Amino acid sequence: MADGAGKPKPAFFIAVLAVVAGLVGLAFYRCNAKKSTGTGSGSGDYVDPNIVKKGGSNGSAGSATAENPDPNAPPTTVTEYSFEPATTLPEVPGTAAYESLGKPRVVKFAVNVWAGWAPIIWANGGSAPKKIWKDAKGGEFQVQLKLIDDPVAMGNSVANGTVQIGWATVDMLPLIVERLKRDPRTMPRVYQQIDWSNGGDGIVVRESIKNVTDLRGKTVVLAQNSPSHYFLLNVLLNGGVQPSEVKMKFTKDAFQAAAAFNQNKDIAGVVTWAPDIYNLTKTGMGNKMLVSTQTANKLIADVWFARADFARDNPEIIEGLVRGILDATDDLSKNEADKQAVGKLMDDFYSLPPGTGGGMLGDAHWTNYAENRDFFLVASNPTNFERTYDTAYRLYKAIRAIENEKLPFDKIMDFSVIKKLGAEPKYAESKNEYEFKFTPAASNEVNVESSVLTKTVTINFFPNSYDAYKKVPAKGGAGEMFYDGNVEYTIEEIAKLAGSFGAARIVIEGHTDGSMKGSADESLVRELSTRRANSVKEALVNKFKMQPNQFTVNGMGWSRPADPKDPDNHAKNRRVEIKVVPAEAQ
């Protein structure tokens, strides 16, 4: 997804994961957590074949001890919430306030300069309202594509009704909602995902920058409150770097950001999009790509939305648009000649030099029906609409770009058309084609030194246990509770990270405390830490149906305390670390 004159993009927040037993404010963070479907050890669950669980039971390391039992460590309590996959869209009052479609009916659909819109450009035969579309009842309508790159201007056009349909990335929606909710008739109704950014966005840095932590104290230039901003914040926070530790220099758009980076060698990095990310990393420039959406391939999702009053009045047209775009997506994915033809249509519509449109096509992955179904309807999908929208809101709230309380995602997401089409074999039989295929790899086969970021998370493992979902008696004898009440939230945050970096190898490193140094068998300690890493992997695979081969586990024992200055902080040391290693670095 491109920003600025191509595509502005807003932001994302991942809450700090170093949670310990007794964390104040747990209920706030738990409010979006999903009810657990199991502990990773039930019948039919995935069990990693690389670790043999010998000795002990229920996640115990066996009769010998690797850590000092700590019976005084207090367990925490949680409140669990279940997810009900039903929309609660509010009613739209009053008469319509958008421009009349006229006769013949012409729908005005705003887009920006971006490869993701190729399917609707192809379905429409260009930007002009020439092709006849059919609505759900067989009625005819036409589409006029309006090029409105500036998201503020696009939002104004939706608000005043001169266009009925607008473009967005999901991470932009909290800001769009904030502007449009003044009139319930203009509130967005999101119906379809168009694409995932597939390499078109990237963070380019100087050669001296090896990973995300090297950006501390450095200057990075980018477009503010854009998907580029969202991309950077996502990477920083997942890498343990606070945004305040990086000097952010803001420009109006991504093009200006790239120019500033190119002209000023004191700037360490830039967040921009194609073709600048490729031009800036040419041989001899002294720059390199730190990470792009080719690795973080499920981070930036493009969608389209309708005004609420237009959606209310024209459900048949909405369905006709979804069908037409999905059918065009299938055409383009199967026919190379069609791709070449749509590239020429993009050159004309976007006023690009000949051949540029065709060269942009690889920067986006157009999402078919199966991928839309997974995005909107599958609650266990770690990179679905709900999670992407919620994390974007949390970020904007944290940086005070939004002051009001969050509008729930099911107040703007309308999955009724996607759900309806699932009853038709034509769509129901489609397959998700955007799953990166990993081959099994041992820990020594993955170059962890090439990781772009390391995320430290604390799962408060019970001493000598590798069961992430360990239960202990509740205070007062009222049943059982998780030893670490934050474990489900923590596992979900790891799943979102791994899902967003869907083309990267995820290395899970397990650690133990050093409370038994000098008396415990070091091989037992390493085995316990390996089992802890595997318990996290099993939870990710079982609850979120993630690919086992994406994950590699490694047991570090007590060799690397979380804080070398505080090596005896045993609760902090009983942890896992998550490393993101791009496929090209393996």
* Domain ranges across the chain: 32-84+437-585, 106-197+301-414, 201-292
Q: What is the pLDDT of residues 349-378, one digit of tens each?
A: 999 999 999 999 999 999 999 999 999 999
pLDDT at residue 198 is higher than 90? yes
Looking at 3.40.190.10, 3.30.1330.60, 3.30.70.580, 3.40.50.300, the CATH number of the domain 32-84+437-585 comes to: 3.30.1330.60
CB neighbour list of residue 75: distance below 8 Å, 6 or more residues apart? 21, 472, 474, 475, 481, 482, 483, 484, 485
What are the strands, taking DSSP E only, across 437-525? Answer: 453-457, 471-473, 480-482, 504-510
Q: What pLDDT is attached to residue 64?
A: 59
Distance CA 572, CA 17 (A): 12
Burial class of residue 535, CB neighbours in 10 A (0-12, 13-18, 19+): buried
pLDDT at residue 186 is higher than 90? yes
Structure tokens belonging to residue 340: 């070449």
Q: What pLDDT is attached to residue 46?
A: 54
DSSP 200-230: SEEEEEETT--SGGGGTT-EEEEETTSHHHH
Residue 388 — very low, low, confident or very high, per pLDDT cuts 50/70/90? very high
Distance CA 470, CA 482 (A): 6
Residue 215 — very low, low, confident or very high, per pLDDT cuts 50/70/90? very high
Taking alpha carbons only, the member of 234, 264, 233 closest to residue 248 is: 233
Which amino acid is residue 412, in one-letter code? I
CB neighbour list of residue 236: distance below 8 Å, 6 or more residues apart? 212, 215, 242, 243, 245, 246
- What does DSSP assign to residue 271? E
pLDDT at residue 47 is higher than 70? no
Residue 69 — very low, low, confident or very high, per pLDDT cuts 50/70/90? low
Task: Give, rounded to a whole angstrom, the gap between the first and last alpha carbons of the chain.
Answer: 26
Give the residue-averaged pLDDT of 242-270. Answer: 94
pLDDT at residue 27 is higher than 80? no
% of residues, the chain, pLDDT over 70: 85
Distance CA 340, CA 329 (A): 14
Give the residue-averaged pLDDT of 523-546. Answer: 93
Residue range 201-292 forms a domain whose CATH class is: alpha beta
Q: What pLDDT is attached to residue 332?
A: 97
Residue 34 — very low, low, confident or very high, per pLDDT cuts 50/70/90? very low
Q: What pLDDT is attached to residue 172?
A: 92
CB neighbour list of residue 27: distance below 8 Å, 6 or more residues apart? 79
Higher pLDDT, 61 or 16: 61
CB neighbour list of residue 386: distance below 8 Å, 6 or more residues apart? 83, 379, 409, 410, 413
Q: What pLDDT is attached to residue 479?
A: 86
pLDDT at residue 38 is higher than 50? no
Higher pLDDT, 26 or 525: 525
Distance CA 178, CA 405 (A): 10
Give the residue-averaged pLDDT of 52-69. Answer: 54
Taking alpha carbons only, the member of 411, 403, 497 closest to residue 455 is: 497
Give the residue-averaged pLDDT of 316-328. Answer: 98
Give the residue-averaged pLDDT of 578-583. Answer: 89
With contact defined as beta carbons under 8 Å apart, do 302 and 119 qualify? no
Distance CA 172, CA 384 (A): 15
What backbone phi and psi angles, to 5 degrees, belong to 125? 70, 30
Angle at the Cα of 199 from the Cα atoms of 194 and 201, rounded to 5 degrees: 90
Helix (H, G, I), strand (E, B) or coil at 563: coil
Q: What pLDDT is attached to residue 185?
A: 97
Give the residue-averaged pLDDT of 95-121. Answer: 96
Higher pLDDT, 78 or 220: 220
Q: What pLDDT is attached to residue 572?
A: 83
Residue 75 — very low, low, confident or very high, per pLDDT cuts 50/70/90? very low
Give the residue-averaged pLDDT of 13-19. Answer: 32
Mean pLDDT comparison of 53-57, 105-109, 400-404, 523-527, highest-scoring range: 105-109
Higher pLDDT, 43 or 404: 404
Give the residue-averaged pLDDT of 243-265. Answer: 94
Check whether domain 106-197+301-414 has CATH 3.40.50.720, yes or no: no
Give the residue-averaged pLDDT of 560-579. Answer: 87
pLDDT at residue 206 is higher than 90? yes
Q: What pLDDT is attached to residue 13?
A: 34
pLDDT at residue 464 is higher than 70? yes
pLDDT at residue 295 is higher than 70? yes
CB neighbour list of residue 152: distance below 8 Å, 6 or more residues apart? none
For the chain, what is the mean pLDDT? 85
Cα 8 to Cα 154, 176, 409, 519, 580: the distances in Å are: 11, 12, 21, 58, 26
- CA 112 remoteness from chain centre: 21
% of residues, the chain, pLDDT over 90: 62
Structure tokens belonging to residue 208: 């001296």
Higher pLDDT, 574 or 123: 123
Q: What pLDDT is attached to residue 493?
A: 93
Asked which of 161-165, 272-276, 507-511 is least confident by mean pLDDT, the reply is 272-276
Q: What pLDDT is attached to residue 61?
A: 55
CB neighbour list of residue 430: distance below 8 Å, 6 or more residues apart? 330, 368, 369, 370
Residue 72 — very low, low, confident or very high, per pLDDT cuts 50/70/90? very low
Give the residue-averaged pLDDT of 258-270. Answer: 97
Q: 106-197+301-414: same fold as 32-84+437-585?
A: no
